[in-house]
Amino acid sequence: MKVHQYCYFALKSETVSAGEITARLGMAPDEAQVLGSRSAEHRLPRMHAWKVTHRGSGPVDDQIEGLIGRLAPVRPGIRKLVDEGVSAVLQVVRYFHHRDGGEEFGWHLSPAVIAFLTEAAAALDVDEYDLSE
């Protein structure tokens, strides 16, 4: 079975824009959404979002480690934003039976990743989709 997987870390808010988050953290996102703007799918985002992503063919636990490594220098700023009402989430997305996927099935979170999520007061959200017919 082939698995296509990726992850991203997002900061979301109804009041704090991705531009303001960028200014406060001193780190540009890989992706951003603007509350109420039109997207390619013609859905209106319900909130602003600042995202750092990792997409690739490697195991998702390696992707998560790389993502958290990129975010480590701004973790105190992330926590400050969360304490002010911005939500933080590590999102893991996996598609099973994907034509472009690899063979990686299981994954784990290292103690360092768990510590980062705890210190940043971030949630973990995992979405898994079965694309078999």
Enumerate the domain spans of the chain.
2-35+46-125
Predicted local confidence at residue 133, as pLDDT: 72
3-state secondary structure of 1: coil
**8 Å CB contact between 107 and 9:** no
Residue 102, helix vs strand vs coil: strand
pTM of the model: 0.86
Say what the pLDDT of residue 5 is. Answer: 87
- Mean pLDDT by runs of 10 across the 133 residues of the chain is 87 93 97 71 71 87 94 96 97 81 77 96 93 77
